[in-house]
Structure 1
Amino acid sequence: MMSSKGEIRRRVMTPNPNTHTTDPLLQQRSETYRTRNCWQRLFVDHGKIKWYWAPVFLSFWVLLYFCISIPAYHRLPKPINIADEARYPDRFIAERAEQNLRKLTALGPRVVGSKANEEGAITYFQNYVSKLKAEANPIYDIESDIQLASGSYCHWNMVNMYQGIQNFVIKIAPKESNSTSYLLVNSHYDSVPHGKGAGDDGTMVAIMLETIRVLSKSDKPLRNPVVFLFNGAEENPLQASHAFITQHKWAKYIKALINLDSAGNGGREILFQSGPNHPWLMKHYRRAIMHPYASTVAEEMFQRQFIPSDTDFRIFRDHGRIVGLDMAHQYNGYVYHTRYDVAEIVPRGTFQNTGDNVLALVRELANAPELEDPSNDAEGHTVFFDVLGRYLVFYTQTEGVILNVFVSIVAISLCTYSFKQMANSTGTKFGSVLNRALTLLGVQVLAVISGVALCFLVAVFMDLVHMPMAWFTNSWLILGLYFCPLFFGFAIVPALYFHSQRKERFPLGFRVQILLHCHCLFLTFVILIASIAGIRSAFMLMIAVLFYASGLIINLCTKLHNKSLPWLIPHILCNIPPFLFYAYQAHAYFVSFIPMTGRFGSSVNPDLIMCGFTVGMGLLTGGFMIPVLNLFHKSKTIICSLLTFTVLFIILAATPIGFPYRPETNVQRFSVLHARRVFHDQTNAVRRVETGYFILPQDRRTYSVKNDLLNISLAQTLDKDCAEEMLCGLPLYNHRWHKARASSIWIPGPDPKFDHEPQLNLISKDQLSKTSIRYELELSGPDHMGIFIKPLKDRKIKAWSFHYTPLRLEWEPPYFIYFSYGKDSSPLKFTLEFENPTEDWSSPIFEIGIAGHWNHDESTHTPEFQKFLQSFPKYVDAIAWPAYYETRLF
């Protein structure tokens, strides 16, 4: 019996062409053996692909990524120069926009309250408008306005209060127009401290200026007026847009918006927010745009706060109920909000790309009939994405759900029909094939879990050995560090299962097809769940299933499905388009998010974030290709080589190749304040004074400067202060510092220099009743201050003169009021009314902290502070200024 079984096995593995048998499997293999041609002999051996074609197979996909997907992402149009203007009289001129940017950034950092922002930029805009009016086509009226505004609103977990901030507004309208439907185009000209803000947002300002020039000289009419808002306080954050939409005389006529911002320096602008609920905007975007780049995935990620940023779009949407489009540059985010964000590194093609799009879009929306009353066209959210930057696809969310369900049903039906065909071809029962499918579905789920677990295991390991962010500069390291272990886990589990079933007579080609079907069914399940949950990004999975189903249809129609290997040809060909699309999307996400990890804070392991992207994009790019490795000879060896690459890349990460930072181009970020902290007791006597350097790390590698920084041996954590003092007793600058304060470092040092300390004066104290008391106070100081208020014991704030939302929503104290001013430096007066149910007023009622920031005048830096900053390594960009903090009890 053993001899007989062995003989049968040899006949199955190597069919004899002269042997007659009634076994359909042996007949099929005998026929295959007799009809082998030269191509089969070149590629195939005993029913498997020869092992040395595996590197070719894997390299093919890598080459597609580098040769097609990456160039598609970075493609920029040829810029038009001033010398060519005569040939293109109605086109956007990139060189003029570039000149606008250089003139604006020559003013230096434009921080709210600085002379450059409050005087230099305004003068520049006034001069530009004067020239604009002199050269404009007489069919247009051009009007400008300087808005000076004060107000407040709640932003995340703080009250955002502003006084005397400025907007410069230009309106271009058809002569004698009586339209009350305006299109708004917005960008901001202010910058962060010590940064010239070329990318954020000077480039968009320059593009707007050139857009106005082209429109004003054009013979093409505009149906409705267009308002161009150059807002002077976005970095504060978002104050000027709030001032415009709640107070400006033209705000009530605004019906739609184009918001232009940046999280980088140049490149193509991505449309990442649309609407909400107005598909007509996408219809006009697709019709007008010359260089499309848009993503629903980016919109959903941004709105779910996966991106550590915000834009004026939210202010216009929430406070003005304005619909519109939000677009931003995100390339080269390494220099975003640093002193290296300069005009010289912005590619000229950026101006042409965005300028072409903005000019065409302004014309399209200003003439859109829907602008008259957008409320009539509020039809729900949209799904939108571009295909390799060539054309745009969009449809409504309802249409998307229908499409997702339809594709899923078709895929399930095709897989079921394929199982039946396999049963017929092999002479086995349909139920037996379904049992195999259920088993392989479990194998596939286990494979996905294994791949994900290995990927995240590497991420945790890299952090434990103090090598996070090794890919920050050399992003190609992600391929070996995370994609390889993901694909290894994804492939090794099925390989081991197939090896354990090597005596199985069911053809390997069919088993691999079943495995692929199971992956398809797994994706359809996720698609259906995501569609039910209202996640529009489910279209990403739908595309993979759609093209897989297309290949399966070809195989079923041509009968290639029933052959051991030829079915691979349609399968591979049909997966090339989705692979190119996913690789393009993956590159975009990594280009955008890798620099962002440099400002996620020290409490976040950025390698875990990269793993999340790797898992998502890896399952889409490799989900239908990696299982094919099981059809190669020496498949387990091939798969294990992926793990070898991971080990090699970990070694590379431990060399200088894996060091994250480079001077000027890929910098590490620290916020550094030269601070004085003064704490008073209930008798108003000073109980504690400290001076030194308050350091807030912006990324995971806080320790990278430990061997360079002056007096680092004196560094202290603030755990004790965070436990005993209100908000750690720190001069926190904004809500992000508020959130990350626990990771701060304090180094004792000399006293900073101030031109004047913040002054808090008690104007009056009135007992309103036995249980309530009101204080009126006055605060003066620098143009950026923070107010922190904490009721003591059982007292509560019943009313105050600040924005009422924190009290109405019963926010947890201490309360944080961010206050800044531009042209108006008059003292801030405010009232606080406290409720005390015990009627005992003998002990202090509340604690108040005042922070002052001098963040746009480096002349306030003492020699000691300058020496301390110079001790940071060259690859560090330390955004630094003096600060003062004082607490008092009332």
Structure 2
Amino acid sequence: MSSSLRPPRWGPIRSLLCLAPLLLGVPYLAYKINYALPKPLTDLEDPLTGLPQLAEARILAHAKHLSEDIGYRTVGTLEHAVADAWMVEQAEALRAQCERAVLVRPGRQLECEVWHQQGSGSHRFDMMGHRLYKTYGDLTNIVVRISDGTPEGKEHAVLVNAHLDSTLPSPGAADDALAVGVMLECMRVLVNSPIWEPKHAIIFLFNNAEESLQDASHLFSTQHPIRDTVRAVINLEAAGSTGQELLFQATSEQMIRAYSHAPRPYGTIVANEVFSSGVMLSDTDFRQFEQYLNVTGLDLAVVGNSYLYHMRKDLVENIQPGVAQHMGENVLGILRYLSSAESPLPALTEGYTRPTTVFFQYLGVFVIYSFYTAKILYTALLLTTLLVVNSTHINFAPALRRGTSIVSEQLNGALAVAAAVVGAFAGSNIIALAMVKVLGKGMSWFSSERACVLLYGPAALTGAIVSQLLVGRVRERSAFSSVLVLQSLLACVGQHLGVGSAGVFALSAFPILLAVILNEKLVWPDQDMSLWSYALALLTPLSLGAQMFYTTLDVFVPLTGRIGEDAPAEHIIASIVAGAGAYTLPLFVPFVQRFGRRTIARGALLFSVLTAVAMAVFAMRTPFDPMHQKRIFVIHMENVTTAEQHLHVAAADSAPGFDALAHSIAREFSVPDAVPMPMSMNAWNNDWDTMYPFSAFLTPYKFELPLKPEYMDAPEHDFTIVALNNSMDRVAGTRSLTLAVNHPGIIWTAITFNAHVLKWTLDNNPPDEYACHHIKEASFYGHDTWTVDLVVKIPEDDPDARIMVNFVGIHEKAMWPAKKAEKEQGGRAMKLFEEFDAWIQQEAGGNVDALLIGCVSGVTTV
């Protein structure tokens, strides 16, 4: 056949223009689907049916009352107690609705029970390699059980949980008042739906102490009388305020399938496996339920725009419209299923197994299949791939059999693809190093989740394309089929190793396989790949890759603002861009090899220039702005042992400029010519024990405060540590005592001491050695004393076995802006904070969010 009849081969620019609608359109479609939210509803009843419907307006009204009318609900404060009383009122109102619903429809099997649990306890809470013990006093839970009223109907229950309290610097509208409102709305809709009768019970737990390290969920899991009826848990959280609520932890196949009954499921096994791996330093109440109730469940959270997580601007006005509707409708759908006759709850009495289930939300469709099915599919995919690659191989130089054999061509193609991936990581990380070490402009992308793509995308492409100059010429067809072989191999091997996330490679390999097969019908026998083959093959990688890209950046970019100065934030983000880009554009290598070495060299130059331009632009950016703020942590410390006052200032990110800010604070608020003293954040830095173990992420400075006249009047308190019931057993070589901590007006107390503890009332497993022990307390408002019984080994060099105790706590009236309305009762710390807050807002242009707490500390020997 005459070569003149063949269509002309297009160059790189024309080819890219041809593919542009796909390259731009598919990620845009994925973006629209990824961030799609339902229309917020305001009516409590459906106008057409008259039946109750879940209304976002009602959810947000509850959230607003908690976060703004009541305010900062830190455990131990008066506001915390007010929120508890309000929640009891809501539970009792629900019970009254329930009783009316039964009267209106006689014979309806429906019963609502309310408990106001209050109790004390202790538990071990290890985190980030640190051993920590928690003790709590008189903390509360509000528990509502909805059932059909029969013993059989109460035998198996699903627990749905949210927490009423908020953390130290935040009013907690999204975290977690939003989820509280969702639960209240679900209860209202279920109770007032005339034909709904639960086959299995639903337990709504409004726990009142999560931010103090999951004390109230521990209280329920270890002491509540109905805890043994719980078969599964749905935990509702928020680390952000926009986008769809994400399933980031599912611990059984039964609950994954239950989640599929949500009207808008959003989650993948990738997020599930990343969270369970420990890469994400995050935790929820789910830990307590899993550990003490031995139940399976779902962990759901809003994660978009997590810049506001644990910040002052976690307000209802910053919750995106549709977020509450999405979370509420999903939770309601799951609860309807789990309370029905089809529920898997009774089967969970025999225990459950970790999920061996692959699940994906792909372009709005929720897909589930077992690991067993995955192994069969991926093995078949690999075998089919090898067969197709072999059957479509063309040897253009039969005389050079060795050089053009299918094995050698596939190896060359695989080498080129691997080199491109390595090059992408190398290119992006070299630029990351330059941004931090050379330009001093780390985290310049922080204020936008996807801005980092503009900086590290060109760098990754530069590294990838330069790598092709090093590996030499590779046939386009060989590189294309090598991508298919590698994707299929990764899917098959990964799944056989038990990694369910390997399914992402299978999902991208399937259309590439189809493209290779159809390509034989689209090109001349001695040609390589048609552009139509690229278009077909890129559909899944572009869509699924973009979807994972969006979610990953939503989580990790804001997270870099709170993982500490020593964390390699720049390299983490650069590597995410390179890795996600390599998955999203898997056919980059065959495409560039399509045009030859000269075009590759020009491409390398072009992307190098784009990288340089991107570096210049980002070097002029500041990481923070008023809606994407830098977190700083400020403690006014009054040492009752030495009568000294110090100001402690810390940051939790690696962005440049904090040292300069600390010096500015010292000039403004410290004694003349003061220089901030960098402090080592280790187990013996007790000044930050109220925030331990999160304090491990902080970079702290310390400087002396001038004793201004207005700072002289300290709040009244009586913070003391004494030893009671003291006795020595010289024969056994032990000392027994009760360590009593008295702290009226002080909350979140923490003590640290060194001793060889043989026995104590915290648990049955103290370290069998002389060690440093951390104990933190959180109690209900007005609960001012806690104790721990100890039996310690008498050291040879101290026959009295004296114990030096470092103690610290937060003055309940000295937290800004939480206690702004009653600042006069906060003494000198609040006077300082009012001045400091106004100054830092002006100094930083609103780009800083400061946690301001007044603490009392000291050292005593007992």
Residue 461 (structure 1) aligns with = 434
Q: Which residue of 2 aligns with 1:12?
A: none
Counterpart pick for 1:863 among 831, 835, 849: 831
* Counterpart residue identity of residue 816, structure 1: H
Question: 2:31 pairs with 67, 70, 73, which one?
Answer: 70
Aligned mate of 1:788, from 735, 741, 752? 752
User: Does the CA-based 8 Å contact 1:561-1:567 persist in structure 2?
Assistant: no
The alpha-carbon deviation at position 414 of structure 1 amounts to 2.8
CA distance in 2, matches of 1:120, 1:284: 32
- Residues 702, 646 of structure 1: alpha-carbon distance in 2 compared, 3 angstrom cutoff: closer
Q: How does 1:40-51 map to 2 (within 5 A)?
A: 40-41=7-8, 44=9, 49-51=10-12
* Cα gap change, 1:740 to 1:422, in 2 (>3 Å): same
Deviation at 1:186, TM superposition (A): 0.6
The match for 1:470 is: 444
The answer to whether the aligner puts 1:536 opposite 2:492 as a matched pair is no
Offset at residue 565 of structure 1 (A)? 4.8
> Residue in 1 aligned with 2:624?
661
Which of 155, 162, 182 is equivalent to 2:125? 155
Q: What displacement does 1:866 show?
A: 2.6
Task: Name the amino acid aligned to 1:113.
Answer: G
Whether the 8 Å CA contact 2:170–2:314 is kept in 1: the answer is: yes
Match of 1:716 among 661, 676, 701: 676
When residues 779 and 319 of structure 1 are mapped into structure 2, their CA distance, relative to the original with a 3 A threshold, is same
Counterparts of 1:355 and 1:539, CA distance in 2: 30
Q: For residues 671 and 728 of structure 1, do their structure 2 counterparts lie closer, same or farther at Cα, with a shift above 3 Å needed?
A: same
1:766 aligns to what? Answer: 727
Q: Does 1:346 align with 2:319?
A: yes
Equivalent residue, structure 2, for 1:732: 689
Q: What is the alpha-carbon distance in structure 1 between the residues aligned to residue 800 and residue 76 of structure 2?
A: 39
Q: 1:265 aligned to 2:241?
A: yes
> Which residue of structure 2 aligns with residue 848 of structure 1?
805
Aligned residues: 813
Seen in structure 2, the aligned counterparts of structure 1 residues 71 and 749 have a Cα distance that, compared at 3 Å, is: same
Q: Does 1:98 align with 2:68?
A: no
Identity %: 21
Q: Counterpart amino acid of 2:690?
A: Y
1:598 partner amino acid: G
Shift of 1:416: 3.3
- Tell me the distance in 1 between the aligned counterparts of 2:220 and 2:351: 25
CA gap of 1:520–1:134, structure 2 versus 1, over 3 A, is: closer
Q: Shift in Å at residue 86 of structure 1?
A: 2.8
* Alignment-derived partner of residue 47 in structure 2: 86
Structure 2 matches for 1:634-713, cutoff 5 A? Answer: 634-655=599-620, 658-663=621-626, 665-677=627-639, 690-701=644-655, 703-704=657-658, 706-707=660-661, 709-711=664-666
1:447 alignment partner, one of 416, 420, 426 = 420
Determine the structure 1 residue equivalent to 2:111. Answer: 141
Residue 119 of structure 1 corresponds to 82
After superposition, what is the alpha-carbon deviation per residue over 1:754-813, rounded to whole angstroms, capped at 9, x for unaligned?
Answer: 33142111224311124222232211112211111113xxxx2211222333436x6x83
CA shift for structure 1 position 380: 4.3
Contact map agreement 1:448 1:490 (CA 8 A) in 2: yes
Separation of aligned partners in 1, 2:681 and 2:72: 33
SS of the residue corresponding to residue 267 of structure 1 reads strand
Q: Which runs of 5+ in 2 are unaligned?
A: 103-107, 668-672
Cα distance, 1:408 vs structure 2: 2.8
Q: Output the TM-score relative to the length of structure 2.
A: 0.89
CA distance 1:62–1:698, change in 2 (3 Å) = farther
TM (norm. structure 1) is 0.86
Paired AA for residue 334 in structure 2: L
CA distance in 2, matches of 1:676, 1:804: 35
| 2:790 paired residue among 832, 835, 848 | 832
From 563, 578, 592, give the equivalent of 1:615: 578
- Please list, as runs of the form range in 1=range in 2, the aligned pairs for 1:501-540 lying within 5 A after superposition: 511-540=475-504
Shift of 1:226: 0.8
State the secondary structure of the residue aligned to 1:358. Answer: helix
Superposed CA RMSD: 2.7
User: Separation in 2 of the partners of 1:123 and 1:788?
Assistant: 36
Q: Is the 8 A contact 2:638 2:645 kept in 1?
A: yes
Determine if contact 2:757/2:766 at 8 Å carries over to the other structure.
no
The within-5 A match list for 1:802-813 is 802-807=762-767, 813=771
Within a 5 Å distance, the mapping from 1:300-339 to structure 2 comes to 300-339=273-312
Q: Hey, what's the Cα distance between the residues in 1 that align with 2:245 and 2:169? A: 25
Cα drift, residue 444 of structure 1? 3.1
Q: How much has 1:647 moved relative to structure 2?
A: 1.1
| Partner AA of 1:847 in structure 2 | M
Which residue number in structure 1 is paired with residue 777 of structure 2? 819
CA deviations 1:117-166 (Å, max 9, x no partner) are: 21234224414532552365212211111110211111122112111111
Distance 1:490 1:61 in 2: 21
Corresponding letter in the other structure for 1:93? A
1:547 to 503, 507, 511: 511
In 2 relative to 1, CA 128–251 (structure 1 residues): closer, same or farther, beyond 3 Å? closer
* 2:105 corresponds to: none
Q: Which residue of 2 aligns with 1:56?
A: 17
Q: Is the 8 A contact 1:662 1:875 kept in 2?
A: yes
Distance 1:717 1:735, change over 3 A: same
Rounded to whole Å, the distance in 2 between the matches of 1:300 and 1:262 is 19
Q: What aligned pairs does 1:229-378 form with structure 2 within 5 A after superposition? A: 229-275=205-251, 278-286=252-260, 288-367=261-340, 368-376=342-350, 378=352
Mean alpha-carbon deviation: is it higher for 351-360 or for 327-336? 351-360
Contact 1:293 1:389 in 2 (8 A): no
2:152 to 165, 171, 178: 178
- Tell me how far apart the structure 2 counterparts of residues 235 and 162 of structure 1 sit (CA, whole Å): 13
- Which deviations, in whole Å up to 9, do the C-alpha atoms of 1:90-116 show, x marking residues without a partner? 432222222222222221011111222
In the other structure, the counterpart of 1:187 is 162
Distance 1:702 1:497, change over 3 A: closer
Q: Name the CA distance, whole Å, in 2 between partners of 1:677 and 1:614.
A: 47
Q: Distance in 1 between matches of 2:456 and 2:803?
A: 52
2:404 is the counterpart of 1:432: yes
Structure 1 unaligned regions, length at least 5: 1-27, 502-507, 679-685
Deviation at 1:194, TM superposition (A): 3.6
Deviation track 1:671-706 (CA, whole Å, cap 9, x = no partner) reads: 11111246xxxxxxx6x6642211221211262472
Alignment partner of 1:200 is 2:200: no
2:859 matches 1:887: yes
Deviation (angstroms), 1:426: 6.3
User: Distance in 1 between the 2:257 and 2:300 partners?
Assistant: 16
Alpha carbons of structure 1 residues 740 and 814: separation in structure 2 relative to 1, 3 Å: farther
1:508-566 deviation per Cα after TM superposition (whole angstroms, max 9, x unaligned)? 7xx0121233333334444455334422211122222222222112224x273834255
Cα 1:837/1:662, change in 2 over 3 Å = closer
Cα distance, 1:521–1:561 mapped onto 2, change above 3 Å: farther
Report how far residue 394 of structure 1 moved.
Answer: 1.6
Q: Partner of 2:367: helix, strand, or coil?
A: strand
Quickly say closer, same or farther: Cα 1:531–1:813, change in 2 above 3 A: farther
**Shift in Å at residue 75 of structure 1?**
0.3
Letter of the 1:182 partner, please give it.
A
Instruction: Find out whether 1:755 has 2:716 as its counterpart.
Output: yes
What does residue range 483-632 of structure 1 map to in structure 2 within 5 Å? 483-495=457-469, 497-498=471-472, 511-556=475-520, 558=521, 560=523, 562-632=525-595
**In structure 1, what residue type is equivalent to 2:694?**
W
Superposition deviation, residue 328 in structure 1: 0.6
- What's the counterpart of residue 372 of structure 2? 398
2:73 and 2:125 mapped to 1: Cα distance?
22
